[in-house]
Structure 1
Amino acid sequence: MNERSGREGRIAGGGGSDRRPRSRRRRAAVVTAWAAAALIVVGGSGLGYLYLQLDGNLHGVDIDAQLYGKDRPPDIGDGSMDILVLGSDSRSGANSEYGRDDGAARADTAMVVHVNEGHRSATVVSIPRDTLVDRPVCTDPDGDRIPGARNAMFNSAYEVGGPACAVATVERLSGIRMDHYLEIDFTGFKKLVDELGGVEITTSEAIRDRDSRLDLTAGTHTLDGEQALALVRTRKSVGDGSDLGRIRLQQVFLKAFIAQVRDAGLLTDPVRLFGVADTATKAVTTDSELASVAKLTGFARSLAGIGPSDVQMVTLPVGYDPYDPNRVVPIDSDARQVWQALRHDRPVPAAALRDSAAGRGGAGPVTSTVPGTVAPAG
């Protein structure tokens, strides 16, 4: 942890877990849906060229090679799995409409997904992009050495060193070895939501945010890709206007997205199924171990027993930095409880979350179609 985190400037209001009744348990992990889609289309149709097309869409990054010889946490090897999932906010190419292209890409969204030993439940820990951390020495994709830095913003790791540096920074922060890496960018996210036919959310208040271009009246809405992207990028018009409020919106949206995947009828519509699989495999970057349809399919099948009610979503316990209110620092004692829970395959205890500033970053009364999935007011 960094020096500032030791100050533990605590702010009342706990982050919490979004858990819904177990009566509607079905597929949960987002990757399960589209990797399984590839399996059904390829296996069911017998058309080899479809397999090759999907396989050719995938792009992999050899994380292990870039981190070889580094001081990494040990691989526990108990059957559990830890995956770093990043949403990239590169402003180049098709993403340029979302801001000025300064040549840099950043980790706009970061989640550590822990799948338990029996692959029957999962915990998702969101890491605020403005968290001050100690960034380790990294090697970028070109093999160049990137110096470490103290009290650096978390999302700077991806910006200066790419996926491997982001993984190294998360491993330093958590003490947990990442087994896999998944990344999706703005444009791919929009297209995937559109392929699914939109995602339904409900808000009891209007949300208007000029920066993200979101304009929703109170009520129930089926968001298309553009609106969904605006929702997960919104921050100034919800909660306390910080990144913590946006994280809560993202967590609610993810639950709604999972529900949409489950209810979209993909398994009975092979053409639409292939469309989703084609879009998804174009949208993501994975670690090299997952960069094939066959490997993604096996990965997805291993997660098939996890339902939405089995996913606990929390935000890393943080307090506002007393030197810069636009930054947050981990609350050391509480953060240790979070990472320890993951290492020991247990749910994150509520006590670890109650003092976090994340509870003050509430996203307002926004719900998904999943009963009980609510982003509480701050």
Structure 2
Amino acid sequence: MVGVAAAGWAYWHLNDNITSVDINSALGGDRPARAVAAPSVSAPAAAASPPTGSLNILVLGSDSRSSKADKALGGGDSTGARSDTAMVVHIEAGRTKATVVSIPRDTLVTRPSCPLASGGSTAVAHHTMFNSAYAVGGPVCAVKTVESITHVRMDHYVEIDFSGFAKLVDALGGVDVTTDQDIDDNRSHLHLKAGAHHLDGTQALALARTRHGIGDGSGLGRIGLQQKLVKALLEQMAATDLLTDPAGLYRAADAVTACLTTDTGLDSLSKLMRFGRSLKGLTASHVTTVTMPVVTAPSDPNRVVAKEPAASALWASLR
């Protein structure tokens, strides 16, 4: 009885950890059509047979600096939140291959009018930074902005904040990453020599955030490191048999769910588990990482704009 009660409490706790946003209701029907019908991960039939249709998922790493945990992890003193990391993850039908497309946060875009939870909507903004969409309108505006510039329907939305990312890495026992150059960044507190490294959660988070210690100091250099971390996490999860370590499994699940925001299609532990089972054939070697083609913005040397026609061709290939 004690064991059943403990298991029930653990399930309730993990389920209650997850924050969700009803993006479909907020955006209504004014969205790109799904190129290929994607089975819902919450469909009853999925319990027996995990869905295998293609999916497009907007994954954001939120730069939320309002909590003590985030500040301790190098979040700084500023308040509010913005999306420092944005990736469109395209999972092919069969769920054994994926393409991860990073969108530079400094990209100048036309931000569409977005509905606000408090009522009303934001105004259309031209030549504004991509990551301002999250700052002014949260996940709903982030999804609408991505769909407006890509014309690709986002089937799901997943957001994880800094503290959750660090805790997940620690719960997995760290990650192995090879850097191509020395990194010396006092702002992110990261100092690494070129070569192979085993990073704990705090170091992995610093690697995901560093930009002043590599390249020209822009966000473009950071994107390459973030893509390395995505593959490193996939490899570590594949190498860590959490099913034989209940305590480790709980730590990993608690770390993820406590700092996770999803759309309503992934807003429960059962939905996430079903989705995870559908990806069991997806390995790091079958994940392609690219960055949306960009060029320096004519109006501002510190900003970029989509490089055409290459950017449009990339999004068309995903569609």
Instruction: Please state how far the C-alpha of 1:61 moved relative to its aligned partner.
Output: 0.7
Counterpart residue identity of residue 167, structure 1: V
Q: TM-score, normalised by structure 1?
A: 0.76
Instruction: Please state how far the C-alpha of 1:264 moved relative to its aligned partner.
Output: 2.0
Residue matched to 2:32: 73
Q: Is the 8 A contact 2:83 2:105 kept in 1?
A: yes
Q: What are the within-5 Å matches in structure 2 for residues 29-48 of structure 1?
A: 47-48=7-8
Distance in structure 2 (CA, Å) of the matches to 1:100 and 1:275: 26
**2:263 corresponds to 1:303:** no
The SS at the match of 2:153 is: coil
Q: TM-score, normalised by structure 2?
A: 0.89
Instruction: Please state how far the C-alpha of 1:299 moved relative to its aligned partner.
Output: 1.2
Q: Is the 8 A contact 1:231 1:249 kept in 2?
A: yes
Structure 1's unaligned 5+ residue stretches are 1-43, 344-378
- Of the three residues 244, 249, 261, the one matched with 1:273 is 249
Corresponding pairs, count = 299
Instruction: Please state how far the C-alpha of 1:45 moved relative to its aligned partner.
Output: 11
Residue matched to 2:94: 118
The SS at the match of 2:261 is: strand
The SS at the match of 1:146 is: coil
Counterpart residue identity of residue 90, structure 2: H
- Of the three residues 96, 108, 113, the one matched with 2:71 is 96
Task: Tell me which of the two structures has the higher relative contact order, counting C-alpha pairs closer than 8 angstroms and 6 or more residues apart.
Answer: 1
Residue matched to 1:240: 216
Distance in structure 2 (CA, Å) of the matches to 1:218 and 1:100: 26
Q: Deviations over 1:320-370 (max 9, x none)?
A: 112211100001210111011101xxxxxxxxxxxxxxxxxxxxxxxxxxx
The SS at the match of 1:314 is: strand
Counterpart residue identity of residue 225, structure 2: L
Distance in structure 2 (CA, Å) of the matches to 1:72 and 1:205: 42
Q: Once the two structures are aligned, what percentage of the paired residues are identical?
A: 54
Residue matched to 1:211: 187
Q: What are the within-5 Å matches in structure 2 for residues 1-378 of structure 1?
A: 47-69=7-29, 71-78=30-37, 79-93=53-67, 94-97=69-72, 98-203=74-179, 205-343=181-319
Distance in structure 2 (CA, Å) of the matches to 1:290 and 1:331: 33
Q: Is the 8 A contact 1:66 1:143 kept in 2?
A: no
Residue matched to 1:348: none
Structure 1's 203 and 123: CA in aligned 2 closer, same or farther, altered over 3 A? closer
Counterpart residue identity of residue 288, structure 2: Q
Q: Deviations over 1:27-55 (max 9, x none)?
A: xxxxxxxxxxxxxxxxx999333221211
Q: Is the 8 A contact 1:141 1:162 kept in 2?
A: no
Aligned CA RMSD, in angstroms, stands at 1.8
Structure 2's unaligned 5+ residue stretches are 38-52
Q: Is the 8 A contact 2:58 2:143 kept in 1?
A: yes
Counterpart residue identity of residue 107, structure 1: S
Distance in structure 1 (CA, Å) of the matches to 2:76 and 2:173: 29
Q: Is the 8 A contact 1:135 1:169 kept in 2?
A: yes
Structure 1's 144 and 96: CA in aligned 2 closer, same or farther, altered over 3 A? farther
